A and B are shown apart, each in its own frame.
Chain A
């Protein structure tokens, strides 16, 4: 395999969408990004904005926040922060996608146990999930995944993220709770997403035209997993939008610091989830399929941002993004979701 050209500052490769590497070897993403000082100021502003949003929307019902909690390192750290720093009464919700590592489930129990947080495990019907994954990489299935989202995560990951988001919104409505929290870290999504207002009517409107495609590919259950029912929408007051917070976007913290912090709560590193996930055994297949189609690692954006701001060292970053999982090691995952790859 010949060596690909990469930005000398952030490690993004020449295959990354929209990249232009100049004669000094630096990419346009680096040139256009905030300086370290500006980033620190932005983080502080977002922190303040988030605190205000939290304070305005807490103490409304039995839970202050529904937390999308995978048991992975980032969402574990997020939950810790919400409980210890913001004193929020959280409901931690894990969606078992059929590939949740046993150790990750142990971690879910350990973390919520240590923090004294109510924990809910939701397992959607496996036949639905496996079909969803299979379709997500099909030609028609790609219509359901936003093109801009593919820059940040694989199609498999995105299909799951869309489902999980909908589950969280439904739970927030059921519990009359206005805050939904996630564990996105810097580079996975723009930092402006540390605090977002979500207008559910607008959100439903934007997905309306996809309803037939969803039903054709995913069957009747698609409605339940990707849309809100009218009676659910009735519980929503447009004057009081839901807020989605991603507290880790307000921090500059390394993987090592995150792991050190949650280890104290009983978190243990998984060994069956590949190099880039700490909860999902399907993640590597998502990476392999994404790389095959687009020739860049789906974690490149987030890893590049960490290198850019000195949170991850360059060598570690290169090790991560140059290691593309091989299909011949992903046999059982492919069988389970029912796809076949011709291994050239």
Chain B
């Protein structure tokens, strides 16, 4: 599932994970994802993992990196990532 998330990010945000851009990289502050890209990411996560995030769950940079996304999914009870 982690690979699926990374694949989504790579193909939708036009970059590749490597030594410089890693699972820890904040894609927001490093300029790979903008607020519209963020909406696309949330839509993808909601449909792929069958979850629904509330507005207050989307604040505070909880989806900036692959690691953060996986933590957020875990907090929703999805741990098979």
Chain B contact residues, CB within 8 Å of chain A: 8, 10-15, 28-29, 31-37, 39-40, 43-44, 47
Contacts and interface: CB of A to CB of B under 8 A. Distances in A.
B36 A18 contact: no
A126 interface: no
B37 A149 contact: yes
A190 B14 contact: no
Question: A interface, by DSSP: helix, strand, loop or mixed?
Answer: helix
A193 B31 contact: no
B47 A18 contact: no
Interface stretch (A2-10, A51-59, A140-148, A336-344): A140-148
B39 A148 contact: no
Contact of B39 (A17, A143, A151, A192): A192
Nearest to A20: B11
B65 to A, nearest CB: 14
Interface in A1-36: 17-19, 32
B33 A146 contact: yes
B37 A148 contact: yes
Interface of A: 17-19, 32, 143-152, 189-190, 192-193, 196, 206, 209-210, 294
A149 B40 CA distance: 11
Given A146-B32, A147-B15, A148-B14, 18 more contacts: A17-B11, A18-B8, A18-B10, A18-B12, A144-B31, A148-B33, A148-B40, A149-B34, A149-B36, A150-B14, A151-B14, A190-B40, A193-B35, A193-B36, A193-B39, A196-B35, A206-B28, A209-B29
A142 to B, nearest CB: 9
Contacts of B40: 148, 190
Most buried by B among A147, A150, A196, A210: A147
16 contacts: A19-B11, A32-B47, A144-B31, A147-B13, A147-B15, A147-B31, A147-B32, A147-B33, A147-B37, A152-B36, A189-B36, A190-B36, A192-B43, A193-B35, A193-B39, A294-B14
A202 B7 CA distance: 27
A145 B31 CA distance: 7
A149 B39 CA distance: 12
B13 A148 contact: yes
Nearest to B15: A147
Contact of B29 (A18, A147, A151, A206): A206
Nearest to A197: B55
A190 B28 contact: no
Most buried by A among B34, B44, B47: B34
A14 to B, nearest CB: 12
B68 to A, nearest CB: 15
